[in-house]
């Protein structure tokens, strides 16, 4: 299968990373004061803001007695891409993204706890440089944690692709914009790494079933790596915001 040349002869990728190396992730919780929870996340040059409102009383049309209603909106700033976007949202792609985000977050949120309530998760992509969905899921998770909403576990998303190192197949983790644009497969996985469950899986382009396991495990490993980074950020945030208070109040 002659794919595009994504690996150099030294085994390095187009942006100089090793095949199993994530882009640099930097993040911060609680960037805004008005929402119940908010977070900012940078994954390489992809930058995403997430805000969470709720849980609050669900609007009458949406209310459900079984569990919380999760409402997501994915929006991209008009200056976020190389070529200017005309509309920040409302197009097919962002509607699809909103649905996919909802799928990932509903898998993680303990929805059964909050009947008749609603949680709004708003994602704003400030800069898109590949893997915008993953960055959105990761930022959204942090915002949910910041809002104190009960989750089963962290939900993390990661992409993986595949390239040829000579005649050996080599899976690539955390696909960047250049690699995305070069074509080739792109497997997006959103999972709860601590339980090992997969919340969402999407595959673009063709991938031979023989290589599926390899690419999939690389993506899952990426999710686990991301979880470690997010967990560290959450702990730092807790340590910073922690003030001495009498712990026992009951």
Residues in region 190-249 near another protein by CB under 8 A: 192, 194-195, 231, 234-235, 237-249
Strand order in the sheet with 117-127: 25-29, 37-43, 46-57, 117-127, 69-76
Name the 3-class secondary structure at 109: strand
Stretch that binds another protein, among 2-10, 88-96, 204-212, 218-226 (CB under 8 A): 88-96
Taking alpha carbons only, the member of 17, 26, 10 closest to residue 174 is 17
Residues 106-165 that bind another protein (CB under 8 A): 110, 114-117, 120, 122, 124, 126-128, 145-154
**Residue 138 Cβ vs another protein, minimum distance, rounded to whole Å:** 14
- By CB under 8 A, residue 49 contacts another protein: yes
Judged by CB under 8 A, the residue of 6, 17, 23, 40 near another protein is 40
Nearer to another protein, 42 or 170 (CB): 42
- By CB under 8 A, residue 62 contacts another protein: no
Residues 172-191 that bind another protein (CB under 8 A): none
Cβ atoms 202, 100 nearer than 8 A: yes
Cβ atoms 170, 164 nearer than 8 A: yes
């Amino acid at each position: 299968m002659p794919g595009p040349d994504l690996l150099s002869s030294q085994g390095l990728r187009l942006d100089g990373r090793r095949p199993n190396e994530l882009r640099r992730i930097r993040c911060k919780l609680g960037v805004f004061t008005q929402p119940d929870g908010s977070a900012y996340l940078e994954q390489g040059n992809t930058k995403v803001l997430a805000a969470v409102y709720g849980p609050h009383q669900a609007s009458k049309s949406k209310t459900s007695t079984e569990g919380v209603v999760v409402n997501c909106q994915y929006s991209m700033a008009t200056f976020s891409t190389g070529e200017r976007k005309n509309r920040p949202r409302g197009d097919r792609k962002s509607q699809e993204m909103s649905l996919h985000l909802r799928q990932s977050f509903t898998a993680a949120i303990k929805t059964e706890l909050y009947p008749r309530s609603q949680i709004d998760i708003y994602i704003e992509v400030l800069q898109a440089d590949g893997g915008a969905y993953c960055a959105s899921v990761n930022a959204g998770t942090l915002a949910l944690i910041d809002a104190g909403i009960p989750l089963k576990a962290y939900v993390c998303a990661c992409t993986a692709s595949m390239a040829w190192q000579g005649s050996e197949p080599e899976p690539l983790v955390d696909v960047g914009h250049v690699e995305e644009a070069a074509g080739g497969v792109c497997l997006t996985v959103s999972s709860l790494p601590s339980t090992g469950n997969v919340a969402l899986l999407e595959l673009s382009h063709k991938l031979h079933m023989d290589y599926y396991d390899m690419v999939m495990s690389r993506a899952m490993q990426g999710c686990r790596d991301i979880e470690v980074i997010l967990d560290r950020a959450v702990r730092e945030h807790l340590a910073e915001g922690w003030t001495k208070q009498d712990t026992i109040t009951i």
